[in-house]
Structures are given as structure tokens and as C-alpha cells.
Amino acid sequence: MTKRRVIIVGGVAGGATCATRLRRLDENAEIVVLDRGPFVSFANCGLPYYVGNVIQEESKLLLATPKLFRERFNIEVRTRNGVIAIDRAASTLSVRDLETGREYSEPYDVLVLSPGAAPVHPSWPGIDLPGIFTLRTVPDSREIKDWIKEKKLRRAVVVGGGFIGLEMAENLVHLGIDVTIAGRPNQVMPRLDPEMAEYAKQRLESRGVTLALGDQVTEFRQNGDGSLIVHTQGGATYEADLVVLAIGVRPETELAQDASLEIGERGGIRVDPQMRTSDPRIWAVGDAVEVMNRITGQWELIPLAGPANRQGRIAADAICGRDVRFEGIQGTTVCGFFGLTVAYTGASEKALRRAGMEDYQYIYLHPDHHVGYYPGAQAIHLKLLFRKSDGLVLGAQAVGDEGVERRIDVIATAIQMKTTVFDLEDAELCYAPQYGSAKDPVNLAGMIAANVLRGDVELAPWGELNSAGAFLLDVREPNEFLAGSIPGSVNIPLGQLRARIGELPQSRKIWVNCGVGQRSYYACRILVQHGLKASNLSGGYSTYRVLHP
Ligand code: FAD
């Protein structure tokens, strides 16, 4: 039997997974991994924590070495070997050995591309000044660490408020550095809906991070002492001794493009569900490829380690003739900083709108992560999106100090299994006082949404608060009401509602709110059964505060 020769370009998340899976399926294949960097299989997700000295030894970031690949998997790994061209007609690669400068040709029967995505590096004036860094590789993180050590710096500007930017901000603050986060979007974590990002904003500000959002950085200049000035379109300037650019990544498609492989509408390599490119002998995986969003059906670029790993495995299976499919992506993400966890899965409201999907509804809730009577209960702020017509779960975003990622993981699985809010209502999840509640936040989300779909309660649209002309009723206790309330609302505590129902207008819309939406739901049930037109302001005053920060 002739040996199949598989060459894999890129030896980190997608490439390394593909290589080792391939070996488990095909003991005979000749497998070569080429990576232009000095390491393979390194933990890029750990890099911000290495900069911040949370991870102290660089070696901890190196998950596998070429020696381990050779000895354990009989895979040849060549680091510092960059692929510079693909000759599809000849089935060869041109490779440059970056140590010696030698160029050579490497034949393949099957080619897998996993070159990843490069940090966006715009051509703004001054972008190449010393002290401005991006973070993708171990050497990048080493350079930032050396700069911090050498300069004993005080001020940093992180450009970009996505998860890498926020993780960098936290780590720099831990090192005693004053951090400003700058960027064009007027919220951090741009994939979140803005009101959910507000919690992240508040936590960052409470830890001394300056947010300079909604203003495009345009230029960097240098002071006489070598420090930097960051200029923005709005005319603001920020002094910095270090700038980290974290404004996103772009798929590394040059090899694929030069070889005339199909590139998709979002600029990533286009692949079929088996991760095969437009050339049947070339596969592509990871950050370099476009993926189909499971919810919106749109092509997207979603650079995440989990999908890259899964795609690497699927490509290996497909190469070995197995009937596998990558079913698309839902973008399940978690990020933590200053004790806060932010996680989301599926579609946000803005993604649904962008996709022209109007058949959706959403609710807010703010349950404790475990029962309130057990010490240490912390609120989880949760937004659940679902299809109005049948309750299909479309997406969820959650923010809080504890238990956030567990709830999003459950909902992520529910979305993957195409389940409905009625299934969330019924989900049997683990419970003991220190872990959750007999009605877990996921159950509660399902119950609230199911109540809406069954017609037990109507939701008042927050967006029309000031225009709908509704009578605003607040059913909290007077002390809560006095501490802060929606302007124009009238306070009748829930316990007095039945007795004071005559004070309410008979024919006007009544929009009810409380602390988190539970008492107002009870109130709505009372009022509706008395023939009044009551609707619930989902999430109550807690939601109001992030909608009107
Ligand atoms: P990569 O892992 O980037 O690997 C690509 C490799 O290909 C590189 O080593 C590169 O040197 C090599 N290469 C490229 N072109 C060539 C060429 N022409 N010849 C030879 N070699 C080449 N994701 C998460 O899900 N959670 C996180 O917490 C998270 N944190 C992150 C933090 C940071 C700082 C970074 C940078 C990324 C983070 N990610 C995270 C994203 C995640 O690391 C990527 O989605 C994942 O690594 C993508 O895998 P990949 O195989 O497509 O590309």
C-alpha cells in the first residue's frame, strides 16, 4: 500500500489536532507539520496571563514539542519553516527554512491549511513606533514583557475592547500599570448586546481602567522621552508608555488566495462541511476559514480555539474517508477580568437584526448563582433570546461573578440540540445549596420565556418606555423605590396591590416593574385576572439601570 503524504501548514490549535487525529486513524500516513514560528502546539490563549505573570514559566505555554510529536505520534514537525507557495498542479509546496534561508519543494498528496489569523495592524501613522505591540505568539508576549521590565512603565493604552484587549487590560493593571482602553465601537465586547456590555464597562471602570470608547484611534506620535501619544478622530490624546493593539484579527489567506482557492464573502477560506476547500485535495481549518453561523445561516469569521480544534479533527476524519460534518458555529465564548465572567452563545439581538430575523423575543433575569440563603450568592445577569413562533432557543448572554459559564454552557448545548425554552424550563440540572437552586437560572430563563409564549404574561418593550404612554407601576417596597426608580413610575408594593387596585387606570396600558422582574410578574398575573392591561418590564429595575446607565 502506498503511503499517503499529508502536509499540514500551521501546528497550533487546528493543525496539531488534525495531525494527531490523523495519526490515530492512519498509522501508515506520512505526516509532516510545517510552522514558521519557533513553537508548535502552544497555548495562545494563555499569553495575556504570561504577560501578567499569572503564568510565570514560559515552558507552561508549550503544550507539545517536535520531539513529543515524533516519539509519540511519529509525526515530523519542522518549526521555523514557512510555506511560501502552493503549486496545486504539481502538488508541491515551496518552503523556506527560516534558520538557513534555504528554499525547498515539499510534495503532498493531501494538504491541510491551518495558518490562523493575524492581528489587524492598520496603516495608521506612527503604528510602527517602538512600544506598540500586538499579541499572537510566545515571542510577542516575551517582547511585551521585556518592554515592561525595561521601561518600568506606568501607562498603557490597549486599543480594542474585545476579549484579548480586556484580558490584556486586566493583566497590565495587575502589574500596577494605569490602563486606558480605546476603540471605535462604543462598547466593550462588541459581540454582546450593548446593555449586557454595560456590566463589563462598570467593572472595568470600578477597577480604575479608563474607557475611551466610540472614538477611532488615528495616529501615534512619540514624545521626546520616547513615550507615546495616542491620537483619536475626536481630538482626544492619551499618553502611554506601552500600546497593545487588539483590534481584531484577519484570516491568513495569502497562500490560499495565491493558489486560487475559493475565498468567501467575509474574506476567509471557503470550505465545505468536511472542511474541504475548493480543491478536493486541500483542507482548511481554524481561524483562516469562514464558518456558517448555525443560527443566522450567515457566513462569519469567528476565531476561537474550540472550533479550530473540532475542525482539525473533522478534517482528519474526512481525509480518512469518515462521514463527518462540521455543523457550523454558534460562537460560544467566555472571558474573565477583575472577577467578572462574561459569556455568550448563539445570536445576540443585534446579530439577529443584522440577519433580518424578526421572529424573536428576549427576556432578562438576574437570579442568584446559588440559593440566597447559602453564603456568597452572586447575581447572574442573563439575557435569553428565543424564537417567538415556537420557542427555539437562539442565544444567551450572561454576566456575573460566579456560575456564569456553567449556565451558558448548558444553553449552548440546548442551542446545539435545537431545543426550545420549554426544554430549558424542564431541564434537570444539578442542585445543592452551594451550587445552584432547585430552580436553576437556566430553568428560570426557560420558565419566564415559556410564560411569555403561553400568554401568561405580556412583555412591555423596554425600547418604548418613554414613548408608549403607559402607566408605570413599581411594585417594590417603598425603601427600594426611594433608593432609585424609573422616572414617572408610581409605587404600590405587591403586598398592597389587591387592596389598591382601584387606584390603577382601567383602560390604559400598565407597565409593571420591580427589582428583577419576579414580583412584577406576580403583579401582572393579579392585574390581568382583574381585567387590567398589564405587561411586565423584563428584568425590572436592574435591567433599567443598564439600559439607562
Ligand atoms: P493558530 O493557532 O494561530 O496557528 C496558526 C499557526 O500557523 C501559527 O503558529 C503560524 O506560525 C502558522 N503559520 C501561518 N502561516 C504559515 C505559513 N505560511 N507557513 C508555516 N506556518 C504558518 N480562543 C478561545 O477560544 N479562547 C480564548 O481564551 C482565546 N484566547 C486567545 C488569546 C490570545 C492572545 C490569542 C492570540 C488568541 C486567543 N484565542 C482564544 C484564539 C485561539 O487561539 C485561536 O482561535 C486558535 O489558536 C486558532 O487556531 P488555528 O490553528 O486556526 O491558528
Burial zone of 366 (CB within 10 Å; 0-12 exposed, 13-18 middle, 19+ buried): buried
**Quick one: which atom of ligand 1 is closest to the CA of 286?**
52
Nearest CA residue ID for atom 41, ligand 1: 304
Q: Locate 407 and state its grid cell.
A: 449556565
Looking at residue 3, its pLDDT comes to: 85
Q: How many other C-beta atoms can be found within 10 angstroms of the C-beta atom of residue 213? A: 16
Is there a contact between 228 and 245 (Cβ–Cβ < 8 Å)? no
H/E element, 481: helix 478-482
Is there a contact between 315 and 281 (Cβ–Cβ < 8 Å)? no
Span from the CA of 136 to the centroid of ligand 1 (angstroms): 7
Looking at residue 390, its pLDDT comes to: 97
Span from the CA of 117 to the centroid of ligand 1 (angstroms): 6
Burial zone of 130 (CB within 10 Å; 0-12 exposed, 13-18 middle, 19+ buried): exposed
How far is the C-alpha of 22 from the C-alpha of 20, rounded, in Å? 5
Nearest CA residue ID for atom 36, ligand 1: 136
Nearest CA residue ID for atom 6, ligand 1: 10
Q: How far is CA 526 from CA 313, 456, 533, in A?
A: 55, 11, 11
DSSP secondary structure code for residue 136 in this structure? S
Residue 304 Cβ contacting ligand 1 at under 6 Å: yes
Span from the CA of 52 to the centroid of ligand 1 (angstroms): 20
Q: Which one from 45, 320, 430, 524 is the annotated catalytic residue?
A: 45
How far is the C-alpha of 288 from the C-alpha of 301, rounded, in Å? 8
45 is catalytic: yes
Which residues are 361's β-sheet partners? 386
Residue 164 Cβ contacting ligand 1 at under 6 Å: yes
Is there a contact between 168 and 188 (Cβ–Cβ < 8 Å)? no
Provide the whole-model pTM: 0.95
**Quick one: which atom of ligand 1 is closest to the CA of 83?**
19
Residue 106 Cβ contacting ligand 1 at under 6 Å: no
Contacts of 378 (CB under 8 A, 6+ apart): 368, 369, 400, 401, 402, 403
Distance of CA 325 to the CA centre of its chain: 23
Is there a contact between 334 and 342 (Cβ–Cβ < 8 Å)? yes
The one-letter amino acid code at 12 reads: V
Residue 305 Cβ contacting ligand 1 at under 6 Å: yes
Ligand 1, pocket-test mutation among 18, 20, 36, 50, most atoms within 8 A of CB: 36
How far is the C-alpha of 97 from the C-alpha of 410, rounded, in Å? 46
How far is the C-alpha of 157 from the C-alpha of 165, rounded, in Å? 10
Residue 135 Cβ contacting ligand 1 at under 6 Å: yes
User: C-alpha angle with apex 291: 442 to 16, nearest 5 degrees?
Assistant: 95
Among 530, 539, 483, which residue's Cα sits nearest to residue 510? 530
How far is the C-alpha of 145 from the C-alpha of 142, rounded, in Å? 5
DSSP three-state, residue 205: helix
Q: Which ranges of the chain have pLDDT less than 50? A: none
Looking at residue 152, its pLDDT comes to: 82
Looking at residue 1, its pLDDT comes to: 55
Nearest CA residue ID for atom 32, ligand 1: 45
DSSP three-state, residue 319: helix
Ligand 1, pocket-test mutation among 81, 84, 304, 345, most atoms within 8 A of CB: 304
Ligand 1, pocket-test mutation among 44, 49, 290, 342, most atoms within 8 A of CB: 44
**Quick one: which atom of ligand 1 is closest to the CA of 137?**
36
Span from the CA of 21 to the centroid of ligand 1 (angstroms): 18
Residue 286 Cβ contacting ligand 1 at under 6 Å: yes
Residue 136 Cβ contacting ligand 1 at under 6 Å: yes
Residue 268 Cβ contacting ligand 1 at under 6 Å: no
Rg (CA), the chain: 27
Contacts of 359 (CB under 8 A, 6+ apart): 387, 388, 389
Looking at residue 174, its pLDDT comes to: 95
Q: Locate 178 and state its grid cell.
A: 494605569
Span from the CA of 44 to the centroid of ligand 1 (angstroms): 7
